[in-house]
């Protein structure tokens, strides 16, 4: 029975959200702004009045929430609030962009138009998604607020993902980690980036997320006591020296804790920096740098710093404008603690990212502004110069967008910021395309290095060029920046086209000599003879001498012999139609283990799912492949090929046995391996496939591959093994 909705209660709820938005925005408003926001709210309310979200709540609450995030968490102003309130009206209602422009002016219309263009991002096949992504970036280069509101929109969707069906949750979460979280990071929105990552984990690996959340919650009391003791001497000294400041302890995000556990292969209890201490100083801008180093000196008077963990982003801000001084110090209880020192302005920029730059724009601080501006200029340049396929573009963009940076210098001392792992050849193209195309090698710190030399921070690079130098296919392996790749591909393509013209001329002359007409039939005969399907490749290879033009003889053109068909490249099968044929009906759930003879499914070797794991199916030409939702490859599959995802779950039957991997660590003792194998084979009737154990200095580490029925079976075994005398850690790993 449907629950009755009281219109009065709903109306009050909507007004409560609207008033909260106005209260938050009040400090930023001037003149006519409040009226404009009210008009946008009423327009959106009217346009969406019959619509509801999946959760059943009135649709207007979504644009209101997006506007709230835009102002409260990103720090945007009136134009953005109005655009956020209207961001869905053109798509979901009869309103047109021209109506928005007439009522709210060209700036709001431009942003709403940008948001409408990218509303369908990631809906169907890969190239369509990538094409939409390219559109989204075009709007970024016109007005960055489009992307900021899009990120606010995505954050609200992730916060309310509970009401979506499971396969949609996986798809939306994967796009988020693949694209939106790194974009938020690149635009300096650290708080939002961390929340998006945590929400991704919550929906794709719920068990791990809940487990870590509980552990963080349980350790909160002890953590707060520790922080209080740790900051007391710093607090007293800062007061004594007359600083205006705030100190806060900030827990690390669940996602970053998990990443650290996996990267360093440690347990939760062994992750030493579960939180960071942040010192925020209230000082005028011209004194910031000196004040940060003064506070660093105070902190290190009380606690010994780790010299390898000093990060100075005050002197050289990150490319997204982030400024801060980070050090890791040893506390009195033997724990390493990260301390971040920054001014209030730096903290604003770190939390609010790009939007905070506007606020500080007129203060005469050029540096952080210019680094972000330079990045956006780079995006614009990538879009203008890139003519590879949309998918390649998306791939390259991600690589260039989301990596760390390396700082190198020209011989005259100009700073050049490139992505981490960039090479001397990338550096050459960064300076100028012509220098890149003629690059022979480089002198790095006065020493000769090849094109493929990977730059390190602080390198001084002088590029050596020659008029005779020509790019080759091999160069593509030496570069990682999009600019260099695009320019090399353009040059190779032009070069191939020119050489193909030479080849065409050779073939035409040969045909003339034989007295054979130069027509399509005769071209097909030559292509078939040389087993080529592309005329340009054929001419190109003739020009290079890889195909022998003398093989073109009169006998090839004998009219008595039928014109052969040219070999063609195989078209990939249309997955959707095939799967629909198998299913017969449009069920969107694949049940594994029950009547699966109808389906051709295989278990993915990259993550070895077993019954009980949260899984999804992925359609391929060879049938459906079952992956764990936490599989490292899942993100890319779901975000790039969302239409090939099949919801899947296990049935209760246990006939099948599945291979799983267990990692075990402990102190070595006689008979330990015997105890472990006895538990596995006797008490749990499990078959072992392999066991490898290394012991060193009284410790051992082992990996055991076993066949189990499901996750319950595996968890029981892990629980029993952890009770064995001497065993310190037992965990499953993706075998």
Q: Is 562 exposed, middle or buried (0-12, 13-18, 19+ CB in 10 A)?
A: exposed
pLDDT digits (tens, 9 = 90+) for 247-295: 988 778 888 888 888 877 777 777 766 778 999 999 998 899 999 999 9
Count Cβ atoms below 10 Å from residue 271 Cβ, excluding itself. 17
Q: Does the pLDDT value for residue 654 go beyond 60?
A: no
DSSP 8-class letter at 268: G
SS3 call for 434: helix
Q: What confidence score (pLDDT) does residue 297 get?
A: 94
pLDDT digits (tens, 9 = 90+) for 523-550: 888 887 887 777 888 898 888 888 888 8
pTM, whole model, 2 decimals? 0.62
Q: What is the CA radius of gyration of the chain?
A: 31
pLDDT digits (tens, 9 = 90+) for 133-156: 666 666 665 677 888 888 899 999
Are 442 and 497 within 8 A, CB to CB?
no
- Enumerate the active-site residues: 91-92
DSSP 8-class letter at 519: S
Residue 700: band (very low, low, confident or very high) from pLDDT cuts 50, 70, 90: confident
Least confident of 17-26, 317-326, 334-343, 420-429: 317-326
Q: What confidence score (pLDDT) does residue 136 get?
A: 61
Q: What confidence score (pLDDT) does residue 269 get?
A: 74
Alpha-carbon distance of 327 to 306, in angstroms, equals: 7
Q: Is 72 exposed, middle or buried (0-12, 13-18, 19+ CB in 10 A)?
A: middle
Q: How many CA atoms lie within 13 A of 326 on its CB side?
A: 16
For the record, the structure tokens of 678 come out as 């006895």
Q: Does the pLDDT value for residue 240 go beyond 90?
A: yes
Alpha-carbon distance of 547 to 540, in angstroms, equals: 9
User: Considering the chain, what is the average pLDDT of its residues?
Assistant: 79
pLDDT digits (tens, 9 = 90+) for 545-577: 888 888 888 778 877 777 666 544 433 334 434
Name residue, tokens 């869905």: 88
pLDDT digits (tens, 9 = 90+) for 333-349: 888 888 999 999 888 88
Q: What is the DSSP string of 659-685?
A: EEEEEEEEE--TTHHHHHHHIIIIIS-
pLDDT digits (tens, 9 = 90+) for 85-122: 888 888 777 788 888 888 888 888 888 887 776 654 44
Per DSSP (E only), the strands in 502-638 are 589-592, 601-603, 615-620, 623-628
pLDDT digits (tens, 9 = 90+) for 459-500: 889 998 888 888 988 898 889 888 888 889 889 989 888 989
Residue 592: band (very low, low, confident or very high) from pLDDT cuts 50, 70, 90: low
Helices and strands in the chain: count of H runs, count of E runs: 29, 20
Are 354 and 150 within 8 A, CB to CB?
no
């Amino acid at each position: 029975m449907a629950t009755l909705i009281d219109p009065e209660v709903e109306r009050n709820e909507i007004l409560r959200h609207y008033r909260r938005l106005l209260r938050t925005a009040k400090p930023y408003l001037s003149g006519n702004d409040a009226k404009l926001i009210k008009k946008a709210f009423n327009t959106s309310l009217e346009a969406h009045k019959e619509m509801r979200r999946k959760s059943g709540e009135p649709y207007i609450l979504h644009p209101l929430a997006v506007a709230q995030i835009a102002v409260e968490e990103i720090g945007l102003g009136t134009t953005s609030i109005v655009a956020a309130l209207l961001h869905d009206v053109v798509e979901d209602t009869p309103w047109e962009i021209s109506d928005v422009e007439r009522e709210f002016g060209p700036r709001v219309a431009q942003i709403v138009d940008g948001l409408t263009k990218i509303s369908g991002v990631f809906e169907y096949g890969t190239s369509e998604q990538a094409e939409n992504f390219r559109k989204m970036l075009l709007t970024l280069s016109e007005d960055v607020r489009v992307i900021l509101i899009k990120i606010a929109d995505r954050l609200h969707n992730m916060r309310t993902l509970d009401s979506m069906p499971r396969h949609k949750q996986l798809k939306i979460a994967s796009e988020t980690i693949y694209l939106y979280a790194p974009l938020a990071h690149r635009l300096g929105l650290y708080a939002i980036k961390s929340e998006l990552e945590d929400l991704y984990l919550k929906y794709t690996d719920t068990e791990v997320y809940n487990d870590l959340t509980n552990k963080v919650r349980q350790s909160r009391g002890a953590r707060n006591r520790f922080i209080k003791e740790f900051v007391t001497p710093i607090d007293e000294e800062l007061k004594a020296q007359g600083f205006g400041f705030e100190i806060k302890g900030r827990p690390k995000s669940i996602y970053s804790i998990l990443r650290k556990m996996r990267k360093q292969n440690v347990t939760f209890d062994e992750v030493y920096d579960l939180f960071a201490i942040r010192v925020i100083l209230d000082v005028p801008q011209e004194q910031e740098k000196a004040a940060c180093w003064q506070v660093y000196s105070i902190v290190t008077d009380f606690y010994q710093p780790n010299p390898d963990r000093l990060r100075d982003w005050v002197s050289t801000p990150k490319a997204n404008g982030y400024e801060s001084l980070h050090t890791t110090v040893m506390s009195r209880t033997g724990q390493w603690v990260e301390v971040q020192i920054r001014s209030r302005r730096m903290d604003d920029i770190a939390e609010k990212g790009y939007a905070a730059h506007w606020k500080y724009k007129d203060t005469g601080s050029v540096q952080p502004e210019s680094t972000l501006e330079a990045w956006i200029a780079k995006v614009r340049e990538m879009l203008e110069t890139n003519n590879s396929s949309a998918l390649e573009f998306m791939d390259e963009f991600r690589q260039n967008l989301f990596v760390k940076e390396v700082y190198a210098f020209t011989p005259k001392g100009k700073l050049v910021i490139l992505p981490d792992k960039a090479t001397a050849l990338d550096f050459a193209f960064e300076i100028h395309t012509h220098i890149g195309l003629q690059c022979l090698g480089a002198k790095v710190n006065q020493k000769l290095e090849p094109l493929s030399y990977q730059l390190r921070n602080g390198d001084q690079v002088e590029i050596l060029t020659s008029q005779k130098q020509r790019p080759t296919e091999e160069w593509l392996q030496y570069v990682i920046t999009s600019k260099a790749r695009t320019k090399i591909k353009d040059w190779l393509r032009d070069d191939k086209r020119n050489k193909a013209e030479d080849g065409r001329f050779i073939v035409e002359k040969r045909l003339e000599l034989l007295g054979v007409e130069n027509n399509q039939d005769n071209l097909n005969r030559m292509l078939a003879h040389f087993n080529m399907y592309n005329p340009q490749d054929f001419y190109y290879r003739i020009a290079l001498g890889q195909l022998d033009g003398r093989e073109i003889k009169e006998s090839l053109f004998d009219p008595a012999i039928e014109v052969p068909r040219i070999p063609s490249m195989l078209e990939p099968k249309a997955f959707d139609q095939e799967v629909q044929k198998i299913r017969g009906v449009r069920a969107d759930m694949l049940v594994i283990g029950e009547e699966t003879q109808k389906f051709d499914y295989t278990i993915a070797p990259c993550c070895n799912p077993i019954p009980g794991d949260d899984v999804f199916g992925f359609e391929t030409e060879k049938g459906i492949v079952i992956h764990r939702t936490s599989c490292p490859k899942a993100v890319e599959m779901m975000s790039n090929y969302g239409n090939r995802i099949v919801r899947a779950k296990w049935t209760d039957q246990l006939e099948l046995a599945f291979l799983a991997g267990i990692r075990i660590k402990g102190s070595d003792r006689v008979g330990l391996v015997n105890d472990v194998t006895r538990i596995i084979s006797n008490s749990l009737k499990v078959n072992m496939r392999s066991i490898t154990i290394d012991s060193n200095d009284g410790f051992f580490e082992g990996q055991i591959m076993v066949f189990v029925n499901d996750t319950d079976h595996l968890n029981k075994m892990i629980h029993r093994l952890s009770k064995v005398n001497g065993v310190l850690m037992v965990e499953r790993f993706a075998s």
